[in-house]
Structure 1
Amino acid sequence: MKLSIGEVARLFNISKDTLRYYDKIGILKPVVNKENGYRFYDIRHLEQLGLILGIKYLGISLSEIKEIIENGDIEDYYNLMQKQKDIIKERILELKKLEESLDNSGQVINRIMNFKNQYNFSKVNIENLDLKLYEVKVRSALDLENESKVEKKLIELKDEAYFYFYEIKDNKHIIEEENLLFIKSNEDIEKFLKKSKNKDKITFKSIQGKFALVDFYGTVEEIHNYILSMNKYFRVDKDNYAFIEYEFYLPKKREEVKYFVRIYLSL
């Protein structure tokens, strides 16, 4: 069977230029008819092209593929297969994490669809909490000039949403610490920090005592007003604090962004 460059391009849903480039760099050279200069591909080429595209999809460079093809060493091919398997395992883990994230988001959205804000503060849950929250700079969370590998690892190991610290001043103003966020301690984080040489660089807040816990859906301004109303209702000191757990946000084109949050107000 002989196939033209156009037929192979259509068969693998790639461009003719891609095939010409593979020919140019020497990783897939078609057979050339010496009489008329006609170039064609056979079954062997199709198998090789399938292998090249599969390897390239996994992020292995063309230069590495070329080196293995040119050497033709069976051990190199075996090592390449092992590398492919490792990459596939990593991708599977990434996809599983993505699936879990989508499932969690779906559950939160279902809650929001049937959710009504609680304005009867007598029905708000009161709990005694004992939490350990690790401090992370927002710059690290956004991965901008990430200087701390420890902070980056904490972000990877978190299993809940981020927490933000709100300071209540004179029962009139909310001051948000915009440059910091907090991650709730879990077993994986504690195991990591126990082994880390840089654990002393990470600070944490120990949150203990009685808190009013309630979910709320609204804009930032509405969240602030709600917290102030809660603080007045519970007759807490005028200077107080709350932790806010941002579980979901809904971007809107013409309105302010709405957030689904859990409020932890110190009592």
Structure 2
Amino acid sequence: MKKYYSIGEISKIYNISVDTLRHYEKIKLLEPALKKESGYRYYSSEQIWKLNNIRNLRGLGLGLEDIKGFLETRSVSSTEKILNSQLQIVEKELEKFNRLKEELLVKKSNLEYFKNDVLFGVPQLKSISKRRVIKSKGRIKEDGDIDFKIKLLSIKTLSENDFLFTENEFGGTLSRENFYKNKYDIYEEIFVINNEGTEMGEEIGKGDYVSIYYRGYYSENYRYYAKAKEFIKENNLEVIGDIFEIFHVDIHTTESVSEYITEIQIPVREL
């Protein structure tokens, strides 16, 4: 004797809502084997294979219309076609997650470096390799504006993740003019350092920079600019371009302002 299951039983067994089953019926993807005058719907044991297929194919990411078409014309050939298509999707997802894993490991390594190996408040001269930066023009003073500009820049990169979880770093530029005027609170532009191996952004050649790290809020940067200026003067150096401030650790990473880490990079050459 054929066994029937109520829509409620099917919903409970397969953890599928009654509304979803009704939708399947509406689009003729899975129609009840039996409808009573009372409105109750029942599914036969012979339909279980179909529901299993629907669940499996949904798990592979197929849309309902594609599933419906497959079930109506299924064959070994069409099954192989779907499997090959989904394998390609899985490979792309694996590639994406492997890339994300690498980015997370870099980010973790950077945080460990900033916690343990950085000398704060002491200017030093260092050479920085060429890099690409993606810039957003427009003067910025408010932190909220900085976050908004950063989000706009993230759209221009290949990364699907916000910068907390990528190896890209961001910051703001201070003009050389404002540097000499001791006006350190206006960013000429916001930038992202593109570390994704693409050709996006403006290339900045290798050069020498006076670098100084500091902890705390950005309003304290004047203390470290003063130290950098003294270092530049003592070492007979000349500032040759706009200054980079890189927000290595900021509000996206920590709630504690005391844990913020910013690096000032001033491009220089010998006089």
What TM-score do the two structures reach when normalised by structure 1?
A: 0.69
**What is the CA distance between 1:173 and its match in structure 2?**
1.4
* 223 and 89 in structure 1: CA distance in 2 versus 1, 3 angstrom threshold: farther
Between 130-139 and 84-93, report the one with greater CA deviation.
Answer: 130-139
Correspondence for 1:222? 220
Aligned to 1:129: 128
Deviations, residues 130-188 of structure 1 (Å, cap 9, x unaligned): 424344447997458x7xxxx545999x954245433242250134233544435x7x4
Partners of 1:234 and 1:207 lie apart in 2 by: 19
Inter-partner Cα distance in structure 2 for 1:56 and 1:258: 45
How far apart are residue 65 of structure 1 and its match? 1.7
What is the distance in 1 between the residues matched to 2:8 and 2:102?
A: 42
Q: Residue 61 of structure 1 is aligned with which of 60, 63, 67?
A: 63
Alignment check: 8 A CA contact 1:171 1:238 kept? no
- Residues 171, 228 of structure 1: 8 Å contact kept: no
**How far apart are the structure 2 equivalents of 1:143 and 1:254?**
23
Specify whether residues 47 and 154 from structure 1 end up closer, same or farther in structure 2 by C-alpha distance, changes over 3 A only.
Answer: closer
Q: State the 1:126 CA deviation.
A: 2.1
**Pairing partner for 1:161 from 162, 165, 169:** 169
1:173 aligns with 2:183: yes
Q: Which residue of 2 aligns with 1:248?
A: 249
Aligned ranges for residues 253-264 of structure 1 at < 5 Å?
A: 259-264=260-265
Aligned residue for 2:78, secondary structure, equals helix
Shift in Å, 1:38 = 5.5
Unaligned stretches of 5+ residues in structure 2: 138-147
- 1:204 and 2:203 correspond: yes
1:79-158 equivalence runs, <5 A: 79-111=81-113, 118-119=120-121, 121=122, 124-137=123-136, 142=151, 152-153=157-158
The offset of 1:242, in angstroms, is 2.4
CA RMSD of aligned residues (A): 4.0
The residue identity in structure 2 corresponding to 1:167 is: S
Separation in 1 of the partners of 2:47 and 2:261? 55
Aligned mates of 2:160, 2:32 — CA distance in 1: 49
1: distance between equivalents of 2:160 and 2:97?
A: 18
In the TM superposition, what are the counterparts of 1:67-78 in structure 2 within 5 Å?
67-78=69-80
Relative distance call for 1:14 and 1:230 in structure 2 (3 A) is: farther
Partner deviation per Cα, 1:193-224 (whole Å, 9 max, x = no partner): 5xxxxx8xx5433242x222344332222345
Deviation at 1:72, TM superposition (A): 3.0
The CA distance in 1 between the partners of 2:70 and 2:149, in whole Å, is 39
Deviation at 1:42, TM superposition (A): 4.9
- Counterpart for residue 30 of structure 2: 28
- What amino acid sits opposite 2:74 in the alignment? G
The CA deviation at 1:46 is 3.8
- SS of the counterpart of 1:3? strand
How far 1:18 sits from its partner (Å)? 0.6
Alignment check: 8 A CA contact 1:220 1:258 kept: no
Change (3 A) 1:116 1:213: closer
Q: How many residues align?
A: 245
After superposition, the Cα gap between the structure-2 partners of 1:127 and 1:254, relative to the gap in structure 1 and judged at 3 Å, is: closer
Cα distance change of structure 1 residues 211 and 239 upon mapping to structure 2, 3 Å threshold:
closer
Identity of aligned residues (%): 19
Q: Give ranges in structure 1 of 5+ residues lacking alignment.
A: 194-198
CA contact (8 A) 2:173 2:244 kept: yes
3-state SS, counterpart of residue 169 of structure 2: coil
Give, in whole Å, the separation in 2 of the partners of 1:74 and 1:11: 29
Instruction: State the AA in 2 paired with 1:129.
Output: I
